[in-house]
Amino acid sequence: MQSLSPPPSSLNSSLSGTNRHRPSSSSVAGPTVVRCIHRSYDSVNFPAGAVRSRSDWQSSCAILSSKVAAQEQHSDSRSGRDNNGLDSIASVNGHKTIDLDLVPADGTATVVGGDSSINNNDRPLPMQRPLTITDLAPAPMHGAQLRVAYQGVPGAYSEAAAGKAYPQCDAIPCDQFEVAFQAVELWIADRAVLPVENSLGGSIHRNYDLLLRHRLHIVGEVQLPVHHCLMALPGVRKEYITRVISHPQALAQCEHTLTKLGLQAAREAVDDTAGAAEYIAANGLRDTAAIASARAAELYGMQILADGIQDDCGNVTRFVMLAREPIIPRTDRPFKTSIVFAHDKGMSVLFKVLSAFAFRNINLTKIESRPHRNRPVRLAGDGASEGGTAKHFEYLFYVDFEASMAEVRAQNALAEVQEFTSFLRVLGSYPMDMTPWSPSGGD
């Protein structure tokens, strides 16, 4: 099957992800999708965000030019020495620090004790602006300016999860899970919202592996009810459907219902649910149906043939929110902590690790094992026995438990776990999703 989304044509289009108008049934505009992060451009890197238009690009270049001019103007004061011949290096609490050289608006010199600081060229040194509370304030957690990466195309359930986690955010579609991780690491996005488990399909193992490979932190979770629809091009009847395409988990979650509908159609897996609808609309496939959300049907001009076709109405997907920096754990609301650990003394150690939580009445909500890629097989025995040396698989264990890292019991539990493990990492300590849930008839 060909790619479901056209490649981005420029840097602006690959980073904006704002093409969300509803296409007509005859012509569907392909949504903008971030496809590759590791690219080299003959341009200036902007770590604080993506350039969205030519005017923004020119403005950013002008700002950089003014900063370079200011730096050249005060190069002597930064790299030279003061009047006494001493190195001009700031010191805070006895530790040498870099001179920030913050230039005041009026360009006047700092007056201390009635004397102004003048360098060898009789030019006033720039004043260093004191830090204020605004300099230390974190980025808004639920503001409209946040850029949130998700896997899929507009209309995907991940986009709905991003909107639930960060209302009115700028959602950035990515064609792969790993691209969403990289988008946050390279400052193209502020957050990423990615699925980790489904109540019917189980864990999304790919994302568990990526959590360990990348250095992002879990800062929250959101649970989204999944409501599947069977859709096709307008005018197509169910009797003419010979193929149904969707994400593998969506196909598995609707298998029994599709059989009850009497569809004698082949099942074919694609990257995501909304991408299946987009693919059918873009290619005019009148013998193919898709399983996706009602929003995807609206975006791509599809006709809903059957609504709510999931086999179980209690179909919920859990997503995690990822950021470059962790949040500060608190105790004024329910928190959850996610860790990953490994041990090299066999499965008997697992009981000791889990007992560290049981003895402190800490409830475990998730435990997932994944093969240890760096050391997949462990040798047991000295090889002198009659049966030879036994080989066992090595595993990494992902554990979620209901406690904040600000609690003493959680700190003591991890201190005890560390005694029995060869590797331990805290993936994040974050607020639990406590929103009430009930089976819904729509998104």
Give catalytic residues, as residue numbers. 317, 319
Count of alpha carbons within 13 Å of 434, Cβ hemisphere only? 8
Q: What angle do CA 391, 393, 394 make, to 5 degrees?
A: 120
Q: Give the gyration radius of the chain's Cα atoms.
A: 28
Q: How many CB atoms lie within 10 A of CB 51?
A: 19
Residues in the chain: 443
Task: Tally the C-alpha atoms within 13 A of residue 241's C-alpha that lie toward its C-beta.
Answer: 29
Q: In 3D, which of 26, 103, 109, 35 has the Cα closest to residue 72?
A: 103
Type of residue numbered 373: R
Q: CB-based contacts of 47: which residues, under 8 Å, 6+ apart? A: 186, 187
Beta strands at 288-292 and 217-225: parallel, antiparallel or unpaired: unpaired
Instruction: Tell me the two tokens of residue 289.
Output: 């149906």
Pairing assessment for the beta strands 243-246 and 266-269 based on DSSP bridges? parallel
Nearest Cα residue to 194 out of 82, 105, 32, 320: 320
Q: How far apart are CA 247 and CA 298, in angstroms?
A: 19
- CA-to-CA distance for 277 and 284, rounded, in angstroms? 11
Residue 321: partners with Cβ closer than 8 Å, 6 or more residues away: 165, 166, 191, 192, 193, 218, 219, 220, 221, 222, 430
Q: What is the largest CA-CA distance in the chain?
A: 91
Which of helix, strand or coil describes residue 358?
A: helix
Q: Residue 132 and residue 207: Cα distance in Å, rounded? A: 39
301: left (phi over 0), alpha (psi -120 to 50) or beta: left
Query: Which residue matches tokens 């969707």?
Result: 246
Q: In 3D, which of 302, 312, 308 has the Cα closest to residue 252?
A: 312
Vertex 20, ends 14 and 22: CA angle to 5°? Answer: 140
